[in-house]
Amino acid sequence: MLIAPGSDERKARKALASTADEVVLDLEDAVTAAHKPAARDLACRLVHENAGARPVSIRVNALGTPWGAADLEACAELGSALASVVLPMTESVHDLVEADRILAGTSIGVQALVETPLGIRDIGEITRATSRLQSVIIGYADLGAALGRSPSALPEHWLAVQDAVLIAARAAGIQAVDGPFLGIADDERFRRAADWTSALGFDGKWVIHPTQVDSATTAFTPSDAAIEDACRVLEALRVAEEDGAGAAQLDGQMLDEAVAVAARRVLAQVGGQ
């Protein structure tokens, strides 16, 4: 997921022309107060222009700000042209219930950006707040500042937070998305961070620069061998079921529902099932 400033048409169009799976047009951190209304208008126009071409979402301003409600109301008017809204500073069920109310009657999804200690503490309640919620995203910059964590913290220093978010998301049946790395380079530190959360089980990652898209895509895309293995597992289970066998085996391994769940997840990542 590539995020681009909603106030900069050149950068936004560059993002929309990228190979990212989703583009998020930002009305919050990337836009100064004086430019908030103009950025909202530009983002809405770009969503209309790109309707059906690729998933495009808008990160609105938080509901506690002077612009949050107006942002959501403008998003609601976009209807099916908009994939979802990203709600920043999500730290209570109330935030999501209010967003759901404003978006009522639309198919627009909501993604919760969790970036405060309160949000992490109450992540279980947040992920169950509304059926409109599609994913939860970790916001490292604000969360790190609130926790007093060093900007140079290694991926493993975030493990407790990452696991809490991942477990809550899986229990609620929604996606867990890794937030942006605090740097714009496609370097070894960025790739290590992406590989780390991919191995943990996250579904994808936000990136803040187009040069990071390919590495993030590689990190979260199953290998050809993993895809082939997943297909073989599901085929072996299908044959065993058709034959009335009580159990299935493949390459000397007993296959059960846990193995099947993992195989289906691999194929879902590449749109196979």
Domain boundaries, the chain: 2-220, 224-269
Report which of residues 150 and 241 the model is more confident about.
Answer: 150
What was the pLDDT predicted at 272? 56
Beta strand 175-178 with 56-59: parallel, antiparallel or unpaired? unpaired
Cα→Cα distances 166→135, 137, 161, 242, Å = 10, 10, 9, 35
Over residues 228-240, the pLDDT tens digits come to 888 888 888 888 8
Long-range contacts of 6-14 (CB under 8 A, 24+ apart): 6/30, 6/31, 6/39, 6/40, 6/42, 6/43, 6/58, 6/59, 7/31, 7/32, 7/35, 7/38, 7/39, 7/42, 9/42, 9/46, 12/42, 12/43, 12/46, 13/46, 14/210
**Cα 246–Cα 270–Cα 12 angle in degrees, nearest 5:** 155
Q: For 207, which DSSP code?
A: B
φ, ψ of residue 112 in degrees (nearest 5): -95, 120
Report which of residues 179 and 236 the model is more confident about.
Answer: 179
Residue among 180, 191, 252, 261 at smallest CA distance from 3: 180
Report which of residues 222 and 41 the model is more confident about.
Answer: 41
The CATH number that domain 2-220 falls under is 3.20.20.60
- Asked if pLDDT for residue 174 goes beyond 80, the answer is yes
- Asked if pLDDT for residue 267 goes beyond 90, the answer is no
Residues constituting the chain: 273
Over residues 109-156, the pLDDT tens digits come to 999 999 999 999 999 999 999 999 999 999 999 999 999 999 889 999
